Amino acid sequence: MDNTTDQPHSSNKGHFKAKQDRGHVKHYILEKYLQAWLPKMSHGEYRLYQKILYVDGFAGTGEFEKSGEDGSPAVALKAVLGHSHGEKLVVDIHMIFIELNPKSAKALEEKLGKVQYDFRTPVKRKNKITWEVINGNFVEEMDRLLDNPEFIGAPIFLFADPFGYDGKIMPMRLLNQVLARPSSEVFLNVMDGSANRFFNIENREDAITQLVGSEKWIEAVRGEDLNPSDRILRFITVYKQNLNAEYKLHFGMRSKKNNRHMYNLVFGTNHPAGLEVMKRAMTNASQDIESLYFSEFLTSRVPQVDVTTKEYKIVCARNTLKRLWWEFSDTEEPLSGSAIANFILRETPYFFNFKRQLGKLLQSAVTIGSGKFDERSFRLSEITAAGLIQLEIQGLQLEEPVVSKKGRLSGPKKPNAKQKVGSLNFKKSSPTDIMKGSRGSRVKTPIKNQHSKASTSSEITPDMTLVKLWGQQKARQEQQTHVRNLSNEMHKQVNKVETITDDDSSSEDESVG
């Protein structure tokens, strides 16, 4: 099969020499995701399927030439064959590795044969694990696979990691066909830093439009005052909008040298469990290498802070409450416990391991408003806007972050009896305003039905505390001292929220249009 394409750097000769940070993190996320995803296949809806397909659409050789490190197919096969829950898995898994270059496809077959041999010790399995390497073109092979009666109805996990960004190579319409199948997910390497060069080349417009699935990207990336990173983020926002998945996450990676975007991973799923697992994998990956950030929430967990402590959980609970207040306090409908849990998963950088702490705060809101609440089980029947607003007056004001222009931490602030609803700092400047560096007021868009879906992923406002910590990146040395202080403060002062100010917290997560 012809392996020549006219897309930018479709053959990157240096690629398979040795893994760079970017390779490590991509594979780390993939591995962690698969490890957590496989046991889920023994439960719930996955049991209904006889077979699940794992597809690596741009598989490569399976091994880095110089270092001998694993490429994505070997990482995935090892994760599946060596899974600790192997005996419990009930659904058959068929893994398909598509590679255009015949030599690479051959090398890959050999590599995966070796991997399989290494796992030859029989495991008493209920399910079958099979794999094949297809030497072919991703689009053609996927079209064939989607129509194959043998695989009808089988959920697909698609990992697609091409060189370059050309609609001919990875069109949006194909990804959405995959997502339209039940329980299917896509994990994509979408754009790297060199994309900016191609945005302006006229005869590439069609190719990029196919990649994104609409022409909306053209307007998004044009703008004289946009820097290259902003341009890519706007592009990714449009890309995510066109991906027909209910939940979408974006993991960005910056260059250590110039802080520019190196590449962008995008995940799409219709399954909250898939979202949670990927959110965890991406969050953990952002701890590993300094140049990475999980841009969906601009989260970088502060290494000095022990996230399992009660103090940290209290901070999470209070920050979440502010976010709830910001989103829901002007709506009429009461808010249920499951809607709150859903909100935390979808709209905040947190995992819900602070139920008790949040429960305590919300309990008073229910007492003030209406409804019933069992703090222990977090069974919250409903919470009203009145409750949230009162809580804000009573509780949050006391915990108002102490903000100083230089980003210094300072001690707790006494409550100001004169402050009324609407006059609190965090109401005047929302997380979005702070990100934009403005102190202006934001017009809140009414939330139509907070019980079903909160705002779309492109509207996510990152957590204030963490955004601010990120904003300090330019002065990292200084930040580390602050963070250490923050950690110490948190240990010393339970119940006090500390925030580091950064007026230049960047507009990285701004949505387009």
Selected range binding ligand SAM among 57-65, 234-242, 388-396, 420-428, rule: CB under 6 A:
57-65
Q: Do the strands 129-135 and 92-99 form a parallel or antiparallel pair, or are they unpaired?
A: parallel
Closest CA to 154 of 41, 248, 29, 273: 41
Q: Does 42 bind ligand SAM (CB under 6 A)?
A: no
Q: Which of 458, 432, 422, 442 is nearest to 329 (CA)?
A: 422
User: How far is CA 418 from each of CA 159, 366, 496, rounded to the nearest angstrom?
Assistant: 56, 25, 21
- Residue window 97-136: x/- pattern of binding to ligand SAM, with contact defined by CB under 6 A: -xxxx--x--------------------------------
b/e sequence 73-106, b meaning 16+ C-beta within 10 Å:
bbbbbbbbbebeebeebebbbbbbbbbbbeebbe
Nearer to ligand SAM, 99 or 311 (CB): 99
Question: Least distance (Å) from ligand SAM to the CB of residue 75?
Answer: 8
Q: Is 242 in the site for ligand SAM (CB under 6 A)?
A: no
Q: In this structure, is the dihedral angle defined by the CA atoms of residues 253, 256, 261 and 263, taken in order, positive or negative?
A: negative
Applying CB under 6 A, the site for ligand SAM has a residue count of 19
Q: Which is nearer to ligand SAM, 5 or 309 (CB)?
A: 5
Region of 54-62, 288-296, 312-320, 475-483 interacting with ligand SAM (CB under 6 A): 54-62
Pairing of strands 292-293, 247-254: antiparallel
Which is nearer to ligand SAM, 79 or 220 (by Cβ)?
79
Residue from 34, 41, 71, 181 touching ligand SAM (CB under 6 A): that is 71
Q: Exactly one of 28, 46, 127, 137 binds ligand SAM (CB under 6 A); which one?
A: 137
Is 345 a binding residue for ligand SAM by CB under 6 A? The answer is no
Edge-to-edge strand list for the sheet holding 92-99: 129-135, 92-99, 51-56, 156-160, 185-192, 261-269, 247-254, 292-293
* Side-chain-facing half-sphere of 411: CA atoms under 13 Å: 2
Contacts of 147 (CB under 8 A, 6+ apart): none
291 binds ligand SAM (CB under 6 A): no
Q: Residues 477, 294, 61, CA angle at the centre, nearest 5°?
A: 110
Among 37, 46, 97, 138, which residue interacts with ligand SAM (rule: CB under 6 A)? 138
In angstroms, what is the minimal distance from the CB of 354 to ligand SAM? 36
Between 16 and 37, whose beta carbon lies closer to ligand SAM? Answer: 16
Positions 5 through 34 that interact with ligand SAM (CB under 6 A): 5, 10, 15
Ranges within 151-210 binding ligand SAM (CB under 6 A): 161-163, 169
| Shortest Å distance, C-beta 358 to ligand SAM | 39
Footprint of ligand SAM (CB under 6 A): 5, 10, 15, 58-60, 71-72, 98-101, 104, 137-138, 161-163, 169
